[in-house]
Amino acid sequence: MNVENHEGENSSLANDGSSGGLSKSCCCGSVVKSALVIVALSSFLALTTNTLRSSGSIDLSRNYFRTLQAPVNPVQEQDSNGNNPEINSTANTGENISDQDTTSGQEEAQPDDGIQRLTFEDVHDHFMTAEEMVGMGESIVAFVDARVRDQYEEGHIPGALWLYHYESGDLIDALRPQLEMAFFIIVYCNGGDCEDSLYLAADLGSLYGLPPENIYVYEGGLNEWKERDMPVVTGSEAR
């Protein structure tokens, strides 16, 4: 077989496979060396690019998928705007108040991960409250959109603040005053299998020091919100 020797790693196999174990091991060694060079070069380029990247970089030390260790006690939840505390007590279960009597079995089906969840009906009530208070200049309900910027601009709940979970470290300081003022921080993403709202809710409580009892997740997300014909705002502004 006419085989040219173009690189060191080819040399032993170039002899038509008849050069014996020594040359084959040399070839394997050469391939392994080349592979290590490729991995080292890739790692260098990757880490350099990640460091120099102005946005969208990955913080190697950050846990992006944080979960809470202990459930939030619903009894301690604040009820500052005079809402019926039953709403809060059902928040963890995600059940409607009207269904409360029959949901003891379903309550156990809710994940016991310390994240307070809200149903559409609960979120709707809070949204109406928030809309009424817009004119008064107060904001005790804060909607937080955990999705990427493009999705936020394509449509979000009116008044929702953009706080992309994976870049929340850079964004949180600008939003902190509004979030600290709110007694109901309702975090959402698209819904369905989207988990970013859960991770952001966990981070808001444990990483950014906001009161965990004020933080809720709307698991139905924007998909359910739109399915229920609720208003949506497009563009970069909250309203």
Residues at the site binding another protein, with contacts judged by CB under 8 A: 1-4, 6-7, 9-10, 13-14, 16-17, 31-35, 37-39, 41-43, 45-47, 49-50, 56-65, 166-167, 196
By C-beta, is 38 or 174 nearer to another protein?
38
Closest distance between another protein and the C-beta of residue 203, in Å? 13
Would you say 188 and 117 are in contact if contact means Cβ atoms under 8 Å apart?
A: no
Closest distance between another protein and the C-beta of residue 173, in Å? 20
Q: Residue 140 and residue 80: Cα distance in Å, rounded? A: 9
Q: Is 226 exposed, middle or buried (0-12, 13-18, 19+ CB in 10 A)?
A: middle
Other CB atoms within a 10 A radius of the CB of residue 49 amount to 10
By C-beta, is 34 or 106 nearer to another protein?
34
By C-beta, is 46 or 134 nearer to another protein?
46
By C-beta, is 101 or 150 nearer to another protein?
150
> Helix or strand or coil: residue 194?
coil
Closest distance between another protein and the C-beta of residue 88, in Å? 31
Q: Residue 20 and residue 5: Cα distance in Å, rounded? A: 17
